[in-house]
Amino acid sequence: MEKIDVLSLDLGELKTKTQSLGMKPFRAVQLFEWLHKKHVTSLEHMTNLSAADKEKLKEVFDFCELKTEELQISKTDGTRKYLFALEDGSMIESVWMSYHHGNSVCVSSQVGCRMGCTFCASTLKGLQRNLTAGEMLSQVYAIANDTKERVSNVVIMGCGEPLDNYDNVIRFIKRLSDPNGNALSQRNITLSTCGLVPGMLKLAEEDLQITLALSLHAPNDDMRQKIMPVAKSFSLDSVIGACRNYFEKTGRRVTFEYSLIKGVNDTPACADELSKLLYGMGAHVNLIPVNPVTERGLTGTDKSGALRFKNLLEKKHINATIRREMGRDIDGACGQLRSRHI
Ligand code: SAH
């Protein structure tokens, strides 16, 4: 029998399940609090449960315990990059970043990725499998325990394409923000997608208050198709349409990610085209010089080039920020740590 992903269940579901195992309803409350308030995923440490109950729970539930395989800490900004081993031995990475406004955790949503973006290390070996909601929650909880600090922001921007693992990602977001448990405000959760239009449209109907980020990276279809194979399936028109729809349905502004690749998408002509594409959307563009991935042979735009690009956008009334490159000294970009490991 396949075990149930216990972290993915809401309190009602957990009550039903534990009662069917012959336990009192308050046991479910205790278990839920251990998991989602105290972030304890090891039965061993749940002191108010009896040994007999723990045996039953162990048989039925999967607790998604992660093993820290490697931890890198940046000397320049304290960014912590974790390589976690899952129960089946797969490796994933998660990142903790400390900002003046709080601590942010970047989680992976899949083992590997099948989107094939040319600048990204996560996709080098393709997709191995989807992560369960519990495996995503465990990344946040393990890091909260390790740092002993509150996690105030979660971004689904690690390895994998979240909308390619739709149902598990929605469960993850609901549990992370569950008022009975971890209670993180949905406004402090960001989901980043390479632009899977059907998923974006569906997400707009979920009645969630999360921020949607679109990995744009190019101002026209031609260029986007060259660096992001997914752009062959969904035109920029339809992707931008899905962004507008998300804003209309949820009232939440979409953020645009734009990784600057030297000599490819960072020219003044690109800035001009980008500003026309996004004009009138109240758009915010996050610029980040692409982190060089050795296997990919692409270089990031230098500081002055990034600044020039930002100024050109602002002249055309498009808000833009150059993101601090956190943890550059520690395999900063998506999938780099995992990729070096395998
Ligand atoms: N699949 C999702 C989320 C994962 S990637 C998406 O595509 O949005 C998170 C962000 O990092 C994306 O904007 C992605 O394009 C970007 N990224 C990937 N590799 C990068 C690199 N080497 N340098 C800079 N940004 C990178």
Ligand 1 atom nearest residue 121's Cα:
19
Of all protein residues, the one whose alpha carbon is nearest to atom 3 of ligand 1 is 157
* pLDDT 10s digits, 200-223: 999 999 999 999 999 999 999 999
- Partners of 19 in the β-ladder: none
Which pLDDT belongs to residue 251?
95
Nearest by Cα to 259 from 214, 295, 311 = 214
User: Encoding tokens for residue 174?
Assistant: 């609901």
The active-site residue out of 106, 194, 243, 334 is 334
Residues with CB under 6 Å of ligand 1 are: 115, 117, 119-120, 157, 161, 192-194, 215, 257, 259, 288, 290-291, 293, 333-334
**Residue whose tokens read 């507008």:** 244
Of all protein residues, the one whose alpha carbon is nearest to atom 5 of ligand 1 is 157
In angstroms, the CA 79 to CA 99 distance is 10
Q: Please, is 150 exposed, middle or buried when counting C-beta atoms within 10 Å of its C-beta (0-12, 13-18, 19+)?
A: exposed
Mean pLDDT of the chain: 93
Pocket residue to mutate for ligand 1, from 119, 120, 127, 155, most atoms within 8 A of Cβ = 120
Task: Clarify whether 159 is annotated catalytic.
Answer: no
Amino acid at 35: L
* pLDDT 10s digits, 8-55: 999 999 999 999 999 998 999 999 999 999 999 899 999 999 999 999
pLDDT tops 80 at residue 301: yes
Supply the pTM of this predicted model: 0.95
Q: Which residues of 270-288 are buried (b: 16+ CB within 10 A; e: fewer)?
A: bbebbbebbeeeebbbbbb
Pocket residue to mutate for ligand 1, from 110, 117, 239, most atoms within 8 A of Cβ = 117
Of all protein residues, the one whose alpha carbon is nearest to atom 15 of ligand 1 is 215
Taking CA atoms, 210 is separated from 28, 103, 155, 195, 286, in Å, by 28, 17, 10, 16, 17
| H or E element, residue 89 | none
CA of 182 to the centre of ligand 1 (A): 27
Displacement of CA 136 from its chain's centroid (Å): 9
Nearest by Cα to 88 from 46, 33, 47, 131 = 131
Domain 67-341, CATH: 3.20.20.70
Q: Which residues of 96-121 are buried (b: 16+ CB within 10 A; e: fewer)?
A: bbeeeeebbbbbbbbbbbebbbbbbb
Which pLDDT belongs to residue 282?
86
In angstroms, the CA 213 to CA 236 distance is 15
* pLDDT 10s digits, 250-291: 999 999 999 999 999 999 999 999 999 999 888 999 999 998
Ligand 1 atom nearest residue 300's Cα:
23
CB 90 within 8 A of CB 110: no
Amino acid at 158: G
Question: What residues does each domain of the chain span?
Answer: 4-62, 67-341
pLDDT tops 90 at residue 155: yes
* Phi/psi of residue 285, nearest 5 degrees: -110, 125
CA of 117 to the centre of ligand 1 (A): 8
In angstroms, the CA 23 to CA 17 distance is 9
For domain 4-62, the question of CATH label 1.20.120.50 is answered with no
Average pLDDT over residues 134-143: 98
Which pLDDT belongs to residue 183?
98
CA of 1 to the centre of ligand 1 (A): 37
**Residue whose tokens read 């942010």:** 104
CA of 208 to the centre of ligand 1 (A): 23
